[in-house]
Structure 1
Amino acid sequence: MAGFVCLCSAGLVLSGTAAGQSAGVSLQDLSAFRDPGESWQLAADVSADLNKRDVLFPTRGAGVLVNLPDRKHPGRDLYSREEYGDMELELDYMMAPGSNSGIYLQGRYEVQLLDSWGVTTAPRPGDNGGIYERWDDQRPEGQKGYEGYAPRTNVSRAPGLWQHLKIAFRAPRFDAAGHKTANARMLRVALNGVVIHEDVELMGPTRGAMGGDEKPVGPLRIQGDHGAVAFRNIRIKTGEPHQEERGFSRRDEVDPILVDATSNTILRSFMDVPGGPRIPHAVSVGSPRQVHYTYDMDKGMLLQVWRGGFLDATPMWHDRGNGCSRPRGAVQHLGKPAFTLAKLSSPDAAWITDSTGTGYRPKGYVLDEQDRPAFRYLVYGAAVTDVIKVLEDGHGLRRELTVENPAEGLYAKLAEGSVIEAQPGGLYIVDGRSYYLQLEDAKGLKPVVRESGGRQELIVPVKGKLAYSILF
């Protein structure tokens, strides 16, 4: 029977595979790890400042594993006491700006963790989620690194946001005499919900391995000498990975019909969103910077943003189709479908649920010289122009709403989430560190974070022009 390990905010539960014995180790200490260095500590939570390189800010408590190397506390790699062969590893991690770390399966095979936010070219093996290169100093310059594997696409999130990594690993095999009979394999690696590696054979240990040899089992090793990084909700399941985690099953029985955005690209389709209705008039806009979004024409709402590939149009175009497309990258949903603009009697009034009394009329969109759309609609007698552009650095997108002759009491809903944290300078951290919202121009009007239906909303009065950026 496969054993199971869980490191989470409540504690650490360990289960060995040999006899099925289990033991609990509280995350009030670091006893699950061998001789942890002084840079490692526990915290209740952790955050980052986008303007401060290689720094994280922990809060007192437990549940989050944090590495904060500095001159007084030099970084050192962290090794688990337990050793593993085949395993499925799942965890959340947070990078500091400009930081570098890595996860070594069996202490020998590294999946790179790096602040790759804004990488808009093809990722490399040294980018976030890459399988790091092997290394040979005897090879010619420029060829010392070899057999590294880049992630299929860059789906990294911004520093200071939680990212999710899931790995299905098959250990090398050995015969009774200790001779290797099969190489180790990364059967499947998914980053932020997107598969970035499938069935990658590892011919030997990657650079920086704990040894040049290979073994049936080895410790989980976290790189700690390169920069600030945090982890939570580490889960390990030992034993042969299940079939669905081995990268050999397919969701569809047909070849996928994929739409890439090598230039600014627009596709109209139905769009399904979690927990919400099907959006019949969705416009998805793709960018060659690999940052994309979907706009709901029926509500004037920025529905979702994502990084990675553009769209999978198989459901729409295969056979008779159902009219739907779906994003191919790491998607950030921006709330349940709702009108962006509403007329409220007070900042505490309920947000509108339909167009009754609004006079809402979509007027389509016009394209600029780079084929980027400006959406237009009428609401409460005002003409609205909604322009959304991908930021030049690929860090997210900027939205500018222009409202001609706005009605009295008009508000815009910018975000919703379980928690919305206000930061200095008009910055907000939304929904448990899922994304940032940077308010740029509200014409001096004060935004409001309010409670609604057990969640929080960020709304702001509208007097003509409103601009903000979503960073993710």
Structure 2
Amino acid sequence: MQHNYLLKRAPVKAFLLAICIPFFASAQNTRGLQQQISLNDLSAFKNPTPNWSIAGSVMADYNKPETMTKKDGQGILVNIHGKDKNEDIFTNMEHGDIDLSVDFMMPRGSNSGIYLQGRYEIQLLDSWGKQALTSGDLGAIYERWDESRPAGQFGFDGVAPRINVSRAPGLWQNIRIQFQAPKFDASGKKIANARVVRIMLNGVTIIENAVLQAPTRGSAFANEAAMGPLRLQGDHGPVAFKNFRYSTHVGAYTVDGSRQVWDSNDKPVTVDVKGEPVVFRSFVDIPGKRVTHSASVGLLNNVSFGFDLEQGTVYQIWKGGFLDASPMWLSRGDGNARAIGSVISLDDKPSLALIHQDNQAWPDTLEKGIYRQKGYELDEAGVPTFKYIFDGININDKTTCDDGKMLTRKISVDGPAAPKDLFARVAEGSDIVELGNGLYAVNDFTYYVQLDKGVKPVIRTSAKGKEMLLPIKNTDKGSSAQYSLIW
């Protein structure tokens, strides 16, 4: 049953929102995964072919299909095809039950896979932005194969992800797989099928409780067994891996409708986006602080962002579900709502500042009286434009998403030309790498910033490493700054 609990507030009218039960899980840390696969060299693997190597850094092209480069060093396992035969790689380590977490990077159009016990493939694929998912997409359990079946039905028993939280080509992603191996009695007879307990992609649960009755297509072994090596696919396309962490303890877990986060008198309350954007006011807790004047905006195609009305800042972006508002409504309530999905935390410093000197630090907060929030207006599609006054300048701030792949933010002056020393702060991270054609990778390839052709940002040292600033440019069409976030 759906309940109309929550309001979408706009300057002129309000709409009731339908609430549905969530199927997303928040990102789990790797604290319990104490074992690692060393990537100082290739000694952890059996007879690696020349397409596999160890590197210190890699770069996978965002635009050019199946293109990856590397630099010398340690810590990253890389598959780049050469002229010789390109083959899969197997670990010396063999496993039964396993809880595995690994970071990976793929270029545009690439294809790979992780075979549990060398038998059951979890698909790796560039599925960025795809709407209709299959068992061949990123994070899926690949299908079994039987050519004795009717034509068109050779492939069967694959499991598709229930939502797409894939990131753009060339960005680091994380997959966590919790797997229970098949069980055998003393005579060797199988008494329990293998099972994928859970697969989480970029912190979001995409598959749960999937029974594997037999190996998937392309298994390295015809039989099933209690133990087997990890196998990484190397013959389909470039891929890089780092931070292999695992445990051999996998707890029992079922999805039967009886699992409760709250007590028996409470039900989870979520805000869903259906058919039109949603603007939702609440507190939101982020690392180190509580945003007390947040407007969370859920756009179409499962893309959302958080806007701090006190700072004029886009402070987080995410793909997946929209909001878990249970803390607002259950028990005594504390006014807090949580993003549901794969979240990238940005920064909650003010978006605008007057920078008079090159070494002038960006302010952590706004001086009293310099900023005044004026609410927001909705366009015909329901997308808000936030309005505020900064140092006497009227600002329009609008963030849009056209295709589910990126957010485009435009900050424009409503009135006279902007002063020449007015800047917008676009990004901050450990590093900001220029990739050409206005594209920049931020914070070790966590996300991209795309600028229009010919726009030159200011990239300078900050407390966290680097920050990117854009001047509010004055043209005959007005004063503005625009950039896109891609992830």
TM-score between both structures, scaled by the size of structure 1: 0.89
How far the C-alpha of 1:371 sits from its partner, in A, is 0.8
2:186 — aligned with what? Answer: 176
How far the C-alpha of 1:461 sits from its partner, in A, is 1.9
Q: For the residues of structure 2 that align with 1:358 and 1:160, how far apart are their CA atoms?
A: 43
1:304 — aligned with what? Answer: 316
2:400 — aligned with what? Answer: 389
- Is structure 2 residue 367 aligned with structure 1 residue 356? yes
Superposed CA deviations along residues 398-457 of structure 1, whole A, max 9, x for unmatched, are 11111243234211111111111223222211111100001227xx66422222224321
- Superposed CA RMSD in Å reads 2.2
- Is structure 2 residue 458 aligned with structure 1 residue 448? yes
Supply the AA of the counterpart residue of 2:250. Answer: P
Q: Unmatched 5+ residue regions in structure 1?
A: 13-26
Q: Greater shift after overlay, 95-104 or 450-459?
A: 450-459
Which of these residues, 86, 103, 106, is aligned with residue 114 of structure 2? 103
Which of these residues, 275, 292, 302, is aligned with residue 263 of structure 1? 275
How far the C-alpha of 1:258 sits from its partner, in A, is 2.4
Supply the AA of the counterpart residue of 1:437. Answer: V
Q: For the residues of structure 2 that align with 1:358 and 1:41, how far apart are their CA atoms?
A: 57
How far the C-alpha of 1:460 sits from its partner, in A, is 2.1
Which of these residues, 222, 237, 250, is aligned with residue 241 of structure 1? 250
2:481 — aligned with what? Answer: 466
Superposed CA deviations along residues 297-321 of structure 1, whole A, max 9, x for unmatched, are 1111111111111222222233442
Which of these residues, 437, 444, 450, is aligned with residue 449 of structure 2? 437
What is the identity percentage for the equivalent residue pairs of Structure 1 and Structure 2?
44
1:215 — aligned with what? Answer: 225
Q: For the residues of structure 1 that align with 2:260 and 2:117, how far apart are their CA atoms?
A: 28
Contact 2:33 2:99 in 1 (8 A): no
Q: Unmatched 5+ residue regions in structure 2?
A: 1-31, 474-478
- Is structure 2 residue 177 aligned with structure 1 residue 167? yes
Q: For the residues of structure 2 that align with 1:252 and 1:59, how far apart are their CA atoms?
A: 49
**Structure-to-structure mapping, 1:53-452, within 5 angstroms:** 53-70=65-82, 72-119=83-130, 121-238=131-248, 240-242=249-251, 251-253=261-263, 254-335=266-347, 337-356=348-367, 359-392=370-403, 394-403=404-413, 404=415, 405-440=417-452, 446-452=456-462
Which of these residues, 51, 54, 61, is aligned with residue 39 of structure 1? 51
Q: For the residues of structure 2 that align with 1:61 and 1:343, how far apart are their CA atoms?
A: 42
Q: Greater shift after overlay, 410-419 or 172-181?
A: 410-419
Q: For the residues of structure 2 that align with 1:272 and 1:104, how far apart are their CA atoms?
A: 39
Q: For the residues of structure 2 that align with 1:381 and 1:370, how far apart are their CA atoms?
A: 30
Q: For the residues of structure 1 that align with 2:260 and 2:112, how far apart are their CA atoms?
A: 32
Q: Residue 142 of structure 1 aligns to a residue in which SS?
A: coil
Superposed CA deviations along residues 206-229 of structure 1, whole A, max 9, x for unmatched, are 111113321010110011111000
Q: Residue 315 of structure 1 aligns to a residue in which SS?
A: helix
Q: For the residues of structure 1 that align with 2:100 and 2:335, how far apart are their CA atoms?
A: 36
The alpha-carbon distance between structure 1 residues 251 and 91, as it changes in their structure 2 partners (threshold 3 A), is farther
Q: Residue 92 of structure 1 aligns to a residue in which SS?
A: strand
Q: For the residues of structure 2 that align with 1:170 and 1:176, how far apart are their CA atoms?
A: 18
Aligned length: 446
Q: Residue 111 of structure 1 aligns to a residue in which SS?
A: strand
Q: For the residues of structure 1 that align with 2:327 and 2:483, how far apart are their CA atoms?
A: 33
**Structure-to-structure mapping, 1:20-39, within 5 angstroms:** 27-39=39-51
Q: For the residues of structure 2 that align with 1:323 and 1:292, how far apart are their CA atoms?
A: 19
The alpha-carbon distance between structure 1 residues 235 and 246, as it changes in their structure 2 partners (threshold 3 A), is farther
How far the C-alpha of 1:356 sits from its partner, in A, is 2.1
